[in-house]
Amino acid sequence: MIRLNENYQNLKDSYLFYNIAQKTKEYLEENPGKKLYRMGIGDVSLPLASAVCTALHTAVDDQSKKESFHGYMPECGAPSLRQTIADYYKKRNVKLSPEEVFVSSGASDELGDILDLFSKESTALIMEPAYPAYVDANIMAGRKIIHLPSGEANGFLPGPSAELDADLIYICSPNNPTGAVFTKEQLKEWVDFANERGAIIIFDAAYEAFIEENLPHSIFEIEGARSCAIEICSLSKTAGFTGTRVGYTVIPKDLERGGQNVNAMWVRNRTTKTNGVSYILQRGGAAVFTPEGQEQIHRNIAIYKNNAKVLMKVLDELGITYFGGKNAPYIWMKCPNGMGSWEFFDLLLREIQVVGTPGEGFGACGEGYFRFSTFGDPEDTKEAARRIKELLSK
């Protein structure tokens, strides 16, 4: 009998979003017709920019004519799009060659697939609270996970320490779920730590476009990162591509371990295991980086940011401690009066019909915290903020 990957038996049921769905369903069955204010999901709500839609339509038309038809695309991405993305990094004074940029079908795919490059014996350091996929992808691969909890004392931005036995280091900045962003100095500590140990940082930059203060958008803004980091990014949150699927991964040519070159390994991996991202989607993705596309996506981001402002104002007025909101589409608040995450979830749902995400679902140190997403409808966000204020000022 074939043996299956037994590591799957070590996965914990991802009860977080399932539990939320169950609880809201029960509530609606008991209270039919009640309107809910959904501030829980990490999915965008605004449509694609018109520059992207025009490019997608044109690309479909190209595929309909013999003269402009494209068959297989290069596995690592269309050279023009790889160049366009490399140019995008120039804004941050990061010099990349197009061969260091890989066009992908999104960050989640890459976060899972990239693990193919590392030995099963390597350890993965995951800073918590964390995006659940980091943990699960490493459990599936049978890798030992080192959980690094964070909290209010370090602003949910933990630093390295000598006793951490880490080979792969996950950094998500701006962070999901806390919205916290590492400074250059803090990232430099992690880069130095990784270079000293020969570890590799996997930097998830999915929310870089939400940064408005003077904080690093890319790990490659940090000196020394070219010899220890991979950056995984996506147009999902930046440009509303969650259901369209384009992302990119940056692997410097300088990144080597034990005589093996990571960029060359990834080229080999992609050319073996994929046939690239579709021509149509790459054209749509390229439109994001045009001046028109940038202007349009930033108009949408500004709408989400305004949602964050509305919520932050209420939390400030209530004197509630929170993180994020300024440079990220998430607000991570401390539950009032020492309440637990799920207790606060129930209170908001039952009393004011607001649905958020209990922090405990992102790791044990998230207990006592609550995540609001600012990707929702502006009118609903205003009403939810009004209700939160009314409930908590009682």
Q: Which residues bind ligand PLP (CB under 6 A)?
A: 42, 106-108, 131, 172, 176, 204, 206, 234, 236-237, 242, 247
Q: How far is the CB of 26 from ligand PLP (least distance, A)?
A: 27
Please state, in angstroms and as integers, the Cα–Cα distance from residue 239 to each residue in 44, 56, 131, 209, 265, following that order: 9, 14, 20, 9, 29
189 burial type by CB count under 10 A (0-12 exposed, 13-18 middle, 19+ buried): middle
- Using DSSP's 3-state secondary structure scheme, residue 384 falls into helix
- The CB-side HSE value for 161 (13 A sphere, CA atoms) comes to 6
Q: How far is the CB of 219 from ligand PLP (least distance, A)?
A: 14
Q: Which is nearer to ligand PLP, 245 or 257 (CB)?
A: 245
- Tallying the residues shown for the chain, one arrives at 394
Q: How far is the CB of 393 from ligand PLP (least distance, A)?
A: 32
Q: How far is the CB of 237 from ligand PLP (least distance, A)?
A: 6
Q: Output the six-digit token pair for 366.
A: 């998230």
Q: How far is the CB of 375 from ligand PLP (least distance, A)?
A: 10
Q: Which is nearer to ligand PLP, 134 or 352 (CB)?
A: 134
Q: How far is the CB of 7 from ligand PLP (least distance, A)?
A: 22
Q: How far is the CB of 153 from ligand PLP (least distance, A)?
A: 23
Q: How far is the CB of 175 from ligand PLP (least distance, A)?
A: 8
Q: How far is the CB of 37 from ligand PLP (least distance, A)?
A: 21
Q: How far is the CB of 330 from ligand PLP (least distance, A)?
A: 9
Q: Output the six-digit token pair for 117.
A: 């490059």
Q: Which is nearer to ligand PLP, 81 or 388 (CB)?
A: 81
DSSP conformation letters of 343-357? HHHHHIIIII-EE-E
Q: Which is nearer to ligand PLP, 132 or 224 (CB)?
A: 132
Cβ pair 333, 179 in contact under 8 A = no
User: Going by DSSP bridges, is the β-strand pair 168-172/123-128 parallel, antiparallel, or unpaired?
Assistant: parallel
Cβ pair 374, 381 in contact under 8 A = yes
Q: Which is nearer to ligand PLP, 82 or 257 (CB)?
A: 82
Q: Which is nearer to ligand PLP, 206 or 314 (CB)?
A: 206
What are the start-end ranges of the E strands in the chain?
A: 37-38, 101-104, 123-128, 144-149, 168-172, 200-204, 229-234, 247-250, 256-257, 260-261, 322-324, 330-334, 354-355, 357-358, 369-373
Residue linked to tokens 């991979």: 230
Cα 361 to chain centroid distance, Å, stands at 16
How far is it, in rounded angstroms, from Cα 313 to Cα 331?
Answer: 12
Q: Which is nearer to ligand PLP, 244 or 353 (CB)?
A: 244
Spatial CB neighbours of 382, under 8 Å, sequence gap ≥ 6: 310
Name the maximum alpha-carbon separation found in the chain.
69
CA-derived radius of gyration, the chain: 22
Q: Which is nearer to ligand PLP, 160 or 329 (CB)?
A: 329
Q: Which is nearer to ligand PLP, 101 or 314 (CB)?
A: 101
How far is it, in rounded angstroms, from Cα 129 to Cα 133?
Answer: 12
Please state, in angstroms and as integers, the Cα–Cα distance from residue 4 to each residue in 119, 137, 140, 159, following that order: 19, 16, 11, 38
Cβ pair 357, 348 in contact under 8 A = no
Cβ pair 362, 371 in contact under 8 A = yes
